[in-house]
């Protein structure tokens, strides 16, 4: 998800420069580029200097009302058959749409039904092993910063393993479980 196909001249123009020294010539792409650059820094826990931070915060305020289309491609080697299509839905704030919580029934383990997907999760739930970053952000305590870490820490055998993601401790995990949206298929 970090590689972007560009022309040779654009690649040479950028070289190893950061957003302080280089931005895409296509002004329609500058906000998306700044967000993508920040996501890579976050995903790999890379340091950021004061000048980079100032530049990126400037883009954050400048781009706050733009809709950015991020459509993660299916990771190689993951058995998901879901195809993602380009969309321009999430904004830089990445505030997920409210989703009503699912109330678990008091009955015994349900048998697979029309409301369950192939993974064993209900169709209204988000399978943390196969969901895209946008889908993961439907979960209340999975933010833009945490969603890439959830993806890179796959596979999971239980929701309890989400505690290996930075920023998800026992309290957040309890909130995730209580919401009832997350599942492990």
pLDDT digits (tens, 9 = 90+) for 9-64: 888 888 888 888 888 888 778 888 888 888 888 888 888 888 888 888 887 777 76
Segment 92-99 shows an average pLDDT of 45
Residue scoring higher pLDDT (103 or 54): 54
Burial label, 92 (beta-carbon count in 10 A; 0-12, 13-18, 19+): buried
Question: What's the total number of domains in the chain?
Answer: 2
Q: Phi and psi at residue 136, in whole multiples of 5°?
A: -60, -35
Do residues 103 and 179 share a domain?
yes
**pLDDT at site 106:** 42
Give the closest residue to 183 by CA, choosing from 122, 112, 99, 108: 122
Q: CATH number, domain at 163? A: 1.10.150.320
For the record, the structure tokens of 105 come out as: 């029934």
pTM over 0.75: no
Asked whether residue 77 is assigned to any structural domain, the reply reads no
Q: Cα separation of 147 and 141, whole Å? A: 10
Q: Cα separation of 128 and 119, whole Å? A: 11
Do residues 40 and 106 share a domain?
no
Do residues 58 and 102 share a domain?
no
For the record, the structure tokens of 74 come out as: 């299916």
Which residues span the domain enclosing 102? 97-185
For the record, the structure tokens of 76 come out as: 């190689």
Residue scoring higher pLDDT (129 or 58): 129
3-state secondary structure 61-94: HHCCCCCCCCCCCCCCCCCCCCCCCCCCCCCCCC
Asked whether residue 92 is assigned to any structural domain, the reply reads no
Which helix (H) or strand (E) segment is 148 a member of? helix 147-152
Transcribe 109-120 into DSSP letters. Answer: PPPP-TTB-TTS
Do residues 106 and 46 share a domain?
no
Do residues 114 and 184 share a domain?
yes
Asked whether residue 72 is assigned to any structural domain, the reply reads no
């Amino acid at each position: 998800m970090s590689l972007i196909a560009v022309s040779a001249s654009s690649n040479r123009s950028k070289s190893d420069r950061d957003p302080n020294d280089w931005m895409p010539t296509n002004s329609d792409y500058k906000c998306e580029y700044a967000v993508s650059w920040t996501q890579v820094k976050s995903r790999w826990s890379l340091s950021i200097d004061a000048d980079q931070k100032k530049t990126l915060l400037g883009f954050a305020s400048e781009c706050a009302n733009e809709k950015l289309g991020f459509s993660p491609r299916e990771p190689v080697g993951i058995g998901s058959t879901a195809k993602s299509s380009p969309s321009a839905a999430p904004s830089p704030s990445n505030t997920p749409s409210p989703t009503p919580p699912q109330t678990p029934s008091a009955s015994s383990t349900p048998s697979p039904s029309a409301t369950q997907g192939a993974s064993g999760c209900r169709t209204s739930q988000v399978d943390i092993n196969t969901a895209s970053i946008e889908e993961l952000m439907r979960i209340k305590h999975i933010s833009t910063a945490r969603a890439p870490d959830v993806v890179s820490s796959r596979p999971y055998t239980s929701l309890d393993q989400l505690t290996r993601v930075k920023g998800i401790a026992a309290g957040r995990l309890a909130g995730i479980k209580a919401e009832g949206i997350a599942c492990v298929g």
